[in-house]
Amino acid sequence: MRALLASLRDGRGFDISLISITMTFLLLFCGVPLIYNAIMSFQEVDIFNLNTFIRPWVGFDNYRALFADATTLPIFYNTLVFVFFSIAGQFLVGFALALFFSLKFSGSTYLRGLFLVSWVMPGLVVGAIWNWILSGDFGILNHVLKYIGVISDNIFWRSDIHFSLWAVIIANIWLGTAFNMILLSVGLAAIPNDIYEAAQLDGANAIQRFRTITLPMMRATIGAVVSLGLIFTLQQFDLFAAITSGGPANSSNVAQYRAWEMSFKEYDFARGATISVLMIGVVMIASIIYVRSTKQEIRG
Amino acid sequence: MSEGIQIEINNLNKHFGHLHVLKNINLSIPKGEFVALVGPSGCGKSTLLRSIAGLEKISSGDMSIAGEIVNHLPPRKRDIAMVFQSYALYPHMNVQDNLTYSLRIKGMKKKSANIEAAKVAKTIGLSELLQRYPRELSGGQRQRVAMGRAIIREPKAFLFDEPLSNLDASLRVHMRKEIRSLHDKLGATSVYVTHDQIEAMTMADQVVVLNEGEIVQQGSPLELYDSPVNKFVAGFIGSPAMNFIKGIVSSDGRSVELQFKVKQKISLKSVFTPGMTVDVGIRPEHLDINASQTNLKVAVNSMEATGSSTYYVADTEPALSFIEQGRSSIVDRENVNLYVAPEHVYLFDAKSGLAL
């Protein structure tokens, strides 16, 4: 008993008890639902057997039914477009801003801090604001585009099937840029200045320095930013709920929003679970890339 | 522009905001010479070096390298190599790629660049390490890579910014010789910044002493040691540092009275203004403990024996330090007789600090 107490106080027992609290929490609230969700995707679930665990086992029927549904593939395609262009936009704008603020002009740190405002705003609020900006009749975006002569007629961003997905992408880029910028700024700040000076003396111009010093030394950070971006964009739900609700005619619907619709609007829990399981697979791959890229960080 | 001058600096000034960090610097460095810029920290020596490299913009004045005015040339167009205190190796490249970086930037094919790298690696003993990354190298090896990266380019001049200060003492002594012999082998022009006067004295052909942004004196190491222009140079060059004692020149001008508690007189090499207040400078190694004659009596306060020599500090105000070669021969610590030859007594103006 005494030995147990002693090890709890300053031995391995303390470490184990700390870890076990977290592990219990994670297993109970993440692990079990994850497995439950995976099991549900192989079962026939309806309103009447929702309260039991033993339900008819249907094998891959739910998966087959999902892919037989004509709306599924367009929705997955939308997801792909949404993820790719959101990440590309967030990364490019974020990197450009990070480089800009790394010039360290007076007031740059305060300005950079201001950019974080977008990151702390709730998605639903951001969505509501973008609804105003994107509004077809009185939105400021249409006004600006018309003023500079890009368009001649109003675009109905949220209700035109050609633009509805892009409406969410634009809002999502705005929402995620600050996070990208901050992570990339940290990566940039970690590159010692004398390496750039050495490269200058070695004859490298600004573009060559960016290509041969900045980019390779940022590899770990970029890997982390992109894989975190993948996870965050696959999680993005609020903006869809606030801006388009996946419509019109599923033109802006994506997998994560579709899974919610299936489960909680159409009460087809099995189909909702099936989509979620497919997404878990993608997120897992992203997580592995993230973990590996942070491991490979270069230290001078 | 005279022939054979590799780096010429005329009336160079540098301001950082209100701070005037380099004041009217004039310096010409002949081709093939090893010049050390030395001074206490904050004297502007690193700023001067970085100005030559183009990493700092100069506020006014002219700078030319190999006959070409470079005031407005960016570092990459100056064809100068620099070895940084931190080495500044590219951490994501192996030694070979670090060495060939400048060549590849210039557009040389990787294959022929690697042949050059192999040659350079051989001269500085890095052949075994070409595939290693900087993080896998010891401090001394990193230092070598930094050197190799500089010499592979055959630049117009080498700049060294305290390159040895991160190495341990024995390696530092070794690298001192190596850098100097490399310089001789390449026939290069080198500018070497250090705060360590021994490094400057042992490596350089010319030593430039800076203080508070000004060149105080320049000359060969022994010139600086033998005839410092002022009290600052006298105190900075030589180790252990020169003793300074307040003194008053006697009425005949041939001797000076040291203002210890018990005043003592020592004779001078020539005649000075009688009654003048001066700072008397005497190097510790010039206070002879075993001479046949004597002109100073002191009591020893502390002594340190290193084996090869013994360092003493006398019980005077200010404390006088002196050295005896070999083991201590003092019998009575309260009564030690010293002798300083008149030619080794330096006088400095008490106000301006200039040598008299």
Mean pLDDT of A243-260: 87
Q: Are B213 and B12 in contact (CB under 8 A)?
A: no
Summary mean pLDDT of chain A: 88
Interface test with B, best of A193, A194, A201 (most B CBs within 10 A): A201
Q: For position B188, what pLDDT does the model report? A: 86
In this structure, the number of other CB atoms found within 10 A of the CB of residue A103 comes to 7
Residues B227 and B206 in one domain: yes
Write out pLDDT tens, residues A283-297: 888 888 878 877 765
| C-alpha span between B96 and B203 (Å, rounded) | 28
Of B236, B252, B275, which residue is a domain's last?
Answer: B236
The total domain count for chain B is 2
Residues whose CB is less than 8 angstroms from the CB of residue B197 and which lie 6 or more positions away in sequence, other chains included: B38, B236, B237, B238, B239
Q: How many CB pairs under 8 A join A and B?
A: 70
Residues B203 and B276 in one domain: no
Write out pLDDT tens, residues B136-189: 999 889 999 999 999 998 899 999 999 998 888 888 898 899 899 989 988 889
Residues B42 and B119 in one domain: yes
In this structure, the number of other CB atoms found within 10 A of the CB of residue B46 comes to 21
Q: Are B271 and B264 in contact (CB under 8 A)?
A: no
Residues of B with CB under 8 A from a CB of A: 53-55, 74-78, 80-82, 84, 86, 88-92, 101-102, 105-106, 134-135, 149, 153
Q: Are B263 and B285 in contact (CB under 8 A)?
A: no
Write out pLDDT tens, residues A191-226: 999 999 999 999 999 999 999 999 999 988 898 898
Mean pLDDT of A140-157: 88
| C-alpha span between B305 and B328 (Å, rounded) | 8
- For residue A5, name the pLDDT band (cuts at 50, 70, 90): confident
Strand pairing report for B157-161 and B80-83: parallel
Mean pLDDT of A157-175: 90
Q: What sign does the dihedral B12-B17-B18-B19 (CA atoms) show?
A: negative
Q: Could you write out the DSSP letters of every residue in B258-273?
A: E-SSS-EEEE-SS---
Mean pLDDT of B192-197: 92
User: Is A298 within 8 Å of B101 when comparing Cβ atoms?
Assistant: no
Residues B315 and B258 in one domain: yes
pLDDT at B2 over 60: no
Q: For position A93, what pLDDT does the model report? A: 95
Model ipTM?
0.85
Q: For position B3, what pLDDT does the model report? A: 60
User: Is A217 within 8 Å of B102 when comparing Cβ atoms?
Assistant: no
User: Is A205 within 8 Å of B89 when comparing Cβ atoms?
Assistant: no
pLDDT at A227 over 90: no
Q: Tell me the chain A residues in contact with residue B106 when contact means C-beta distances shorter than 8 Å.
A: 203
Q: For position A297, what pLDDT does the model report? A: 55
Cα A80 vs. chain centroid, distance in angstroms?
Answer: 12
Of B236, B260, B293, which residue is a domain's last?
Answer: B236
Of B213, B236, B259, which residue is a domain's last?
Answer: B236
Tell me the percentage of chain A whose pLDDT exceeds 70. 98
Structure tokens at A259: 């899974």
**C-alpha angle B306-B310-B315 in degrees, rounded to nearest 5:** 130
Q: Are B268 and B345 in contact (CB under 8 A)?
A: yes
Residues B63 and B120 in one domain: yes
pLDDT at A49 over 90: no
Q: For position B1, what pLDDT does the model report? A: 42
Least confident range of A270-274, A289-293, B283-287, B325-329: A289-293
In this complex, the residue of B81, B89, B92 whose CB is nearest that of residue A201 is B81
Write out pLDDT tens, residues B134-145: 999 998 899 999
User: Is B86 within 8 Å of A194 when comparing Cβ atoms?
Assistant: yes
Question: Strand ranges (DSSP E) for chain B?
Answer: 5-16, 19-30, 34-38, 60-65, 68-69, 80-83, 157-161, 190-194, 206-211, 214-219, 243-249, 255-258, 264-267, 277-282, 296-298, 300-305, 309-314, 321-325, 336-338, 346-349
Structure tokens at B230: 């002022």
Q: Are B216 and B209 in contact (CB under 8 A)?
A: yes
pLDDT at B94 over 80: yes
Mean pLDDT of B304-328: 91
Residues B67 and B107 in one domain: yes
pLDDT at B292 over 80: yes
User: Is A194 within 8 Å of B88 when comparing Cβ atoms?
Assistant: yes
Mean pLDDT of A91-105: 91
Residues B19 and B68 in one domain: yes
- The answer to the question of residue B183 being in a domain is yes
Q: What sign does the dihedral B100-B102-B105-B109 (CA atoms) show?
A: negative
| C-alpha span between A240 and A169 (Å, rounded) | 10
Q: Are B19 and B209 in contact (CB under 8 A)?
A: no
Residues B139 and B270 in one domain: no
- For residue A235, name the pLDDT band (cuts at 50, 70, 90): confident
Q: For position B154, what pLDDT does the model report? A: 87
Q: Are B12 and B58 in contact (CB under 8 A)?
A: yes
Q: For position A293, what pLDDT does the model report? A: 74
Q: Tell me the chain A residues in contact with residue B53 when contact means C-beta distances shorter than 8 Å.
A: 197, 201
Q: For position A289, what pLDDT does the model report? A: 80
* Residue A216 C-alpha, separation from nearest chain B C-alpha, in angstroms: 7
Residues B308 and B328 in one domain: yes
Q: Tell me the chain A residues in contact with residue B89 when contact means C-beta distances shorter than 8 Å.
A: 195, 198, 300
Q: Return the closest-CA partner of residue B25 out of B216, B193, B235.
A: B216
**CA distances to A126, B68, B133, B192 from B52, in Å:** 53, 13, 30, 12
- For residue A300, name the pLDDT band (cuts at 50, 70, 90): very low
Q: For position A59, what pLDDT does the model report? A: 84
**CA distances to A90, A94, A181, A205, B54 from A102, in Å:** 18, 12, 11, 18, 21
Q: For position B348, what pLDDT does the model report? A: 94
Mean pLDDT of B287-294: 89
Range of the domain at B299: 243-349
* Residue A220 C-alpha, separation from nearest chain B C-alpha, in angstroms: 11
In this complex, the residue of A203, A213, A299 whose CB is nearest that of residue B90 is A213
Strand pairing report for B5-16 and B60-65: antiparallel
Our CA dihedral for A130, A133, A134, A137, rounded to 10 degrees, sits at: 140
In this complex, the residue of A192, A204, A299 whose CB is nearest that of residue B105 is A204
- The answer to the question of residue B354 being in a domain is no
| C-alpha span between A83 and A241 (Å, rounded) | 17
Residues B142 and B251 in one domain: no
Our CA dihedral for B165, B166, B172, B176, rounded to 10 degrees, sits at: -60
- Which chain B residue shows the shortest CA-CA distance from A219? B92
Residues B174 and B152 in one domain: yes
Q: Are A82 and A243 in contact (CB under 8 A)?
A: no
Q: Residue for token digits 């200010």? A: B318
Residues B27 and B161 in one domain: yes
Q: Tell me the chain A residues in contact with residue B92 when contact means C-beta distances shorter than 8 Å.
A: 216-217, 219, 298
Interface test with A, best of B101, B120, B133, B151 (most A CBs within 10 A): B101
Q: For position B342, what pLDDT does the model report? A: 92
Q: Which amino acid is at A171?
A: A
Chain B touched by A194 (CB under 8 Å)? yes
- The answer regarding whether domain A62-295 maps to CATH 1.10.3720.10 reads yes
Summary mean pLDDT of chain B: 91
Q: Which amino acid is at B351?
A: K
Q: For position A91, what pLDDT does the model report? A: 95
Length of chain A: 300
Q: Which ranges in chain B belong to alpha helices (H)?
A: 45-53, 95-105, 110-123, 139-151, 169-186, 197-203, 221-226, 231-236
pLDDT at B312 over 90: yes
User: Is B92 within 8 Å of A216 when comparing Cβ atoms?
Assistant: yes
Chain B touched by A203 (CB under 8 Å)? yes
- For residue A299, name the pLDDT band (cuts at 50, 70, 90): very low
Longest CA–CA span in chain A (Å) reads 82
User: Phi first, then psi: what are they for A61, rounded to 5°?
Assistant: -55, -45
- For residue A103, name the pLDDT band (cuts at 50, 70, 90): confident
| C-alpha span between A94 and A179 (Å, rounded) | 8
